[in-house]
Structure 1
């Protein structure tokens, strides 16, 4: 017996549905994994910027030195330092 596809509210949105994302970087600009923060995707640039604005201090504590914003594979801006 085949089950129906999960409703959109219960599945992770695809990269096409959420094209905005941040690359988390160390001081040299290399991509880093910060437990629980990588892989976040957003519907709009404003959503992505709000998210990083709310948790930048937590990202810095997790070892992230800077972030770069992307829409799909296009770099929008960055790197942007998370330090004063």
Structure 2
């Protein structure tokens, strides 16, 4: 199993390149921990929301990086 984040704009379109990380993680907990440490950098890079994928299948989608 491989877990990865899909980076998205506000409309849900995928963002790629531009120096965005392309990390994969061995489990969901590691992926979520990484996001908890890096969400501010992603937001500054233009990422508005993320989706967590397990082997290409969405675990959850459209999670905003903006604080409520």
Q: TM-score, normalised by structure 2?
A: 0.90
2:19 to 17, 35, 39: 35
- Report the Cα offset of residue 36 of structure 1: 3.9
- Quick check: which has more Rg, 1 or 2? 1
Q: TM-score, normalised by structure 1?
A: 0.73
Runs (5+) with no aligned partner, structure 1: 1-15
| Higher relative contact order structure (alpha carbons within 8 Å, sequence separation ≥ 6) | 2
> RMSD of aligned C-alpha atoms?
1.2
Count of aligned positions = 66
Give the ranges of 4+ consecutive aligned residues of structure 1 lying more than 2 Å apart after TM superposition.
none
